[in-house]
Amino acid sequence: MSTTPVPRRNVLRALAVSVALVGGATPGWGGTASAAEAETYTLTIRHIDRAGQVPQKYRTSVTGISGAGANAREAVEREDATGVSTVRLPKGRYLLESDLYTARWQDGDDWIVQPRLDLDRDTTVTVDARTTVPVDVRPTDGSARLLNSGMFVEVTHEGTTRSASIVKATPTLRVAHLGPEAEPGSVRQWFDAYWMGDTAGYALGQTFSGTRVLTGLTHHYTVQELAALQIRGGARPGAEGSRVPYDLSPTPGQGVGPTVGAPLVMTVPGAVTFYVTPGRGTWDVTFGAPGTPGGRTNFYSADRIAVRAGTVTTQTFDNPLFGPALTDRHGVERAGDTITTNLPLLADGDGHVPSAPSFDTAYTSLHRDGVLVGTRSGADSAAGRAEFTVPPGPASYRLAATVTRKAASGATSRVNASWTFASATTGGSDPVPVPVSVVRFSPELSAAGTAPAGTPVRVPVTVQGAAADGRVRALTVSASTDGGASWTRLPVEDGAVTVRNPAAGAGVSLRAELTDADGNTLDQTVFDAYRTE
């Protein structure tokens, strides 16, 4: 086996990037490389604590942004009693951050960030904790305890962005800017903190942009500044009293990068209210519903939840009535001669799609001009996912799906749905939507999916998908109280039907038959959509 020698200049450049910060020592440089290739400088970093002494502990990192050291990232922890570390680095722009702390968590951290460090000569930087100012961001509830917080900095120069962050579980952080100002708008910073009180939680976030990093931050929020985000969890029969995880965080990518969230636990059925900062943008919630015995946890998510100060926004998870949903998807797409389905059959009452729905059997089939193309079964079918390769050219299709589950799984024991549509070979690799629709039924039910026996209940009816926005040609809704043996057609008035509930202990099934403006059809049935009590 032969090897190709690496040119010496590449070795030198690699060494210049990878040299580690070593307390009190400067690596030596030799060889015959040209001055341009070995244009490096000594960076000396002095560390001082709040008392003007050498810190007990510190971690400092230097990250390259531009120039020959653009890919460099060096870090050091306290190694001796001098508090001084040196390193030799290539010429360029760097981001420096330093965390000074003690062994006592009560003392907190001093986080000092220099967003602009131009290394074009031997340079000494002094990281001095006496320059820091406390971060004092808190809710109105004086009894609330901090769960966690995170402060993040991003610096951009010549098209390259580098970041630094610190995460704390105690309200003892102090921060400071170090060094010259950077270019206008090149420094972005955000701080997120989560608190929990006796009756509510708080998610307090702020963002900043400019030429400097924050030196301290003080904001005591008032009730008028915050929006209420209520998170409710249902519970299937047998799962009452379960402890389930949920998480709340700002939506990523809202002008800033990643952040911390609040991993929490609630008892279901139940609810918790978080007061959040509208100025942080939209919010994401993940909810882990009780899984089946021996099965996976069933996660739901609600993304980009818009909030407004002084208002209450509610998201309810794992609540009946379970059925098909097309909240944020086309449902069926075709790319060339591949038809892909994503038609969840057991979305919860608010339309949240489960990651691992509980089911016993699930089956999907596709016919082309009356001829079976293929079938699928199992977990993917329960989630509405399938893929079929079909012959080229135009044809009429019938897609059918069904999922069943035991009554112990809660409301909805079976869902049947079938769609007809015309489709032809598509050009290009991008998927093209296929026109399908679903109907959502939304009665007000208990957390277990029940409604009072012997009384009328109003059931709102909503069309999603291709037939939405006034593209319904025909829609009929029927109800059954004998498991589908017989059906009663119900008039749709003002977007809803009225069901006369039977005696206690009975199941009410709902059926929708729809034709859209182009002649595509839907036949959808939700058995035991809810029960009476």
- Residue 410 has what pLDDT? 55
Q: Domain range for residue 358?
A: 332-532
75 found inside a domain:
yes
327 found inside a domain:
no
Residue 206, amino acid: Q
CB 324 within 8 A of CB 341: no
- In the chain, the number of structural domains is 3
Give the pLDDT band (50/70/90) at residue 296.
confident
Give the pLDDT band (50/70/90) at residue 292.
low
What's the rounded mean pLDDT across residues 503-512?
Answer: 95
How many Å is the Cα radius of gyration of the chain? 30
Residue owning tokens 């012959």: 391
Same-domain status, 199 and 77? no
Domain termination residue (choose one: 285, 317, 349): 317
What's the rounded mean pLDDT across residues 100-126?
Answer: 96
CB 471 within 8 A of CB 502: no
> Any idea what DSSP says for residue 16?
H
504 found inside a domain:
yes
In 3D space, the residue among 75, 115, 72, 123 whose CA is nearest the CA of residue 99 turns out to be 75
Positive or negative: CA dihedral 32, 35, 39, 45: positive
CB 248 within 8 A of CB 264: yes
* Biggest alpha carbon–alpha carbon distance for the chain: 95
Positive or negative: CA dihedral 417, 420, 421, 425: positive
3-state secondary structure of 156: strand
Same-domain status, 194 and 116? no
Q: Which residues contact 140 (CB under 8 A, 6 or more apart)?
A: 220, 221, 222, 223
With a cut of 50, say whether residue 234 has pLDDT above it: yes
Say how far apart CA 349 and CA 282 lie, in whole Å: 22
2 found inside a domain:
no
Q: Which residues contact 445 (CB under 8 A, 6 or more apart)?
A: 319, 320, 321, 349, 411, 451, 530
Please state which of the ranges 75-84, 235-244, 303-312, 394-403 shows the lowest mean pLDDT: 235-244
CB 77 within 8 A of CB 61: no
85 found inside a domain:
yes
Same-domain status, 345 and 379? yes
Same-domain status, 313 and 340? no
Same-domain status, 336 and 253? no
3-state secondary structure of 100: strand
3-state secondary structure of 379: helix
Per the document, the length of the chain is: 533
Residue owning tokens 């449902």: 331
Same-domain status, 42 and 147? no
Tens-digit pLDDT profile for residues 396-410: 999 999 999 875 445
In 3D space, the residue among 48, 213, 56 whose CA is nearest the CA of residue 135 turns out to be 213
Positive or negative: CA dihedral 141, 200, 170, 225: negative
CA distance readout (Å), 170 to 59, 107, 108, 194: 19, 10, 8, 11
Q: Which residues contact 295 (CB under 8 A, 6 or more apart)?
A: 356, 358
CB 146 within 8 A of CB 170: yes
Query: What CATH number is given to the structural domain containing 104?
Result: 2.60.40.10
383 found inside a domain:
yes
Instruction: Name 263's bridge partners.
Output: 247
Greater confidence, 448 or 177? 177
Same-domain status, 222 and 75? no
Tens-digit pLDDT profile for residues 368-380: 999 999 999 998 8
Tens-digit pLDDT profile for residues 41-92: 999 999 999 999 999 999 999 999 999 999 999 999 987 899 999 999 999 9
Tens-digit pLDDT profile for residues 264-282: 999 999 999 999 999 999 9
Q: Model-level pTM?
A: 0.84
| Burial of 510 (C-beta count, 10 Å sphere; 0-12/13-18/19+) | buried
Give the pLDDT band (50/70/90) at residue 256.
confident
Same-domain status, 411 and 424? yes
Structure tokens at 292: 């089946």
What's the rounded mean pLDDT across residues 201-211?
Answer: 96
- Residue 293 has what pLDDT? 61
- Residue 3 has what pLDDT? 34
Domain termination residue (choose one: 89, 107, 132): 132
Same-domain status, 506 and 380? yes
Secondary structure in 3-state letters for 180-231: CCCCCCCEEEEEEEEEECCCCEEEEEEEEEECCCCCCEEEECCHHHCEEEEE
> Any idea what DSSP says for residue 131?
G
Domain termination residue (choose one: 270, 292, 317): 317
What's the rounded mean pLDDT across residues 226-230?
Answer: 98
CB 388 within 8 A of CB 372: no
Same-domain status, 424 and 515? yes
3-state secondary structure of 38: coil
Same-domain status, 218 and 166? yes
465 found inside a domain:
yes
Residue owning tokens 């249902």: 234
3-state secondary structure of 15: helix
Structure tokens at 441: 């039924």
With a cut of 60, say whether residue 297 has pLDDT above it: yes
Question: What pairing do the DSSP bridges indicate for beta strands 40-48 and 123-128?
Answer: parallel
Tens-digit pLDDT profile for residues 122-153: 999 999 999 999 999 999 999 999 999 999 99
3-state secondary structure of 130: helix
CB 291 within 8 A of CB 297: yes
Say how far apart CA 132 and CA 393 lie, in whole Å: 70
- Residue 479 has what pLDDT? 98
Give the number of other CB atoms < 10 A from CB of residue 375.
13
Same-domain status, 94 and 165? no
Question: What pairing do the DSSP bridges indicate for beta strands 262-268 and 521-532?
Answer: unpaired
CB 284 within 8 A of CB 302: yes
256 found inside a domain:
yes
